[in-house]
Amino acid sequence: MGPVIHTYAIALRARFRGLEVREGMILSGAAGVGEFSPFWDYDDDESTRWLAAAVEAAERGWPPPVRDRVPVNVTIPAVSPQRAIELVEASGGCRTAKVKVAEPGEGLGAERDRVAAVREALGAGGRIRVDANGGWDVETAARHLAALDKVAGGLEYAEQPCATVEDLAALRRLTHVPIAADESIRRAADPMEVARREAADIMVVKVQPLGGVRPALRIIEEVGLPAVVSSALETSVGIAAGVALAAALPDLPYACGLATVNLFTDDVLTHPLRPTGGELAAVDAASLPLRPDLEATAAPAGARGRWRGRLERVRALLEDDEAGR
């Protein structure tokens, strides 16, 4: 496994997933660079997949693409309607928006206002999807989705509206809004349960939590649902892996959730991966130019120490797993 060349800490433009600052590590290897940035609610064992993805990028690179460009959506955090409009307008031409909902302490009225603002900004031809991160029970999800579907003029889908596969399956029989499974795929001991229970119409996949581009491709094939490739709130190094996965898929019916670099106030690349014309270009791990002044995004000394300790523990677990195969 290649050396760590940088531990970053970058402020976010808006609170997202409970975070105001995103941290992680950049590793280098013979094939280029990879990112290791599991959230802190992932334990060491679960974080081994995140490290495997970084090692794949740095040491092996990614499978060859079947397309040069990947359509992406703009992600709208739990912000004011005016800020939502500004984010759509600054998205680099995205014609699909994913709107965060089910924010703690926020009601249906705020969600409806945000979705209405996004519809105004996108115009009639744009697509809107919502993401609840498992924050609703079945009854609440059915009620909120009916209201949001109406104000959106039709939702493309709802991402992880409920936390469990059982609840997703129950909700899917109560609503005509398509259901996408995210956490029920990437954090599941058995991702196939979603398909067996007919709990979703779409699967959301993320490279780091699934162990890399190649493992993600295998899981997509096994589950057999249309796939949306999404970000795990990474720097451009991690985003490049997501684009590589989307570019390698045989079919790509939906815009991907990979336009999240705009949520960061800074980046580790000289040229951050931001969309133009609503798309991102496919790149390889060897062609990611790290900025010469990486120190500008460096984590404080205490955070660097925590990440070094975490990497050592996770690396030992990953090496044990590989030795046992």
Active-site positions? 100, 206
| Rounded CA separation 274/138 (Å) | 36
Strand partners for 101: none
Burial class (CB in 10 A: 0-12, 13-18, 19+), 68: exposed
Token match 């939502």: residue?
A: 84
Token match 């965060």: residue?
A: 100
Helices (H), 97-137: 108-122
SS3 306: helix
| Rounded CA separation 48/33 (Å) | 17
Query: Do the beta carbons of residue 214 and residue 63 sit within 8 Å?
Result: yes
| Rounded CA separation 210/218 (Å) | 10
Closest CA to 77 of 98, 106, 105: 98
Q: Contacts from 141-148 at CB under 8 Å and sequence distance 24+? A: 141/167, 141/171, 141/175, 142/171, 142/174, 142/175, 143/108, 144/101, 144/102, 144/108, 144/111, 145/175, 145/177, 146/175, 147/108, 147/112, 148/101, 148/111, 148/112, 148/115
Query: Do the beta carbons of residue 113 and residue 79 sit within 8 Å?
Result: no
Report the sign of the C-alpha dihedral through residues 276, 182, 324, 44, in that order. positive
| Rounded CA separation 114/5 (Å) | 40
Who's near 14: CB < 8 A, 6+ residues apart?
Answer: 77, 78, 79, 83, 263
| Rounded CA separation 77/176 (Å) | 24
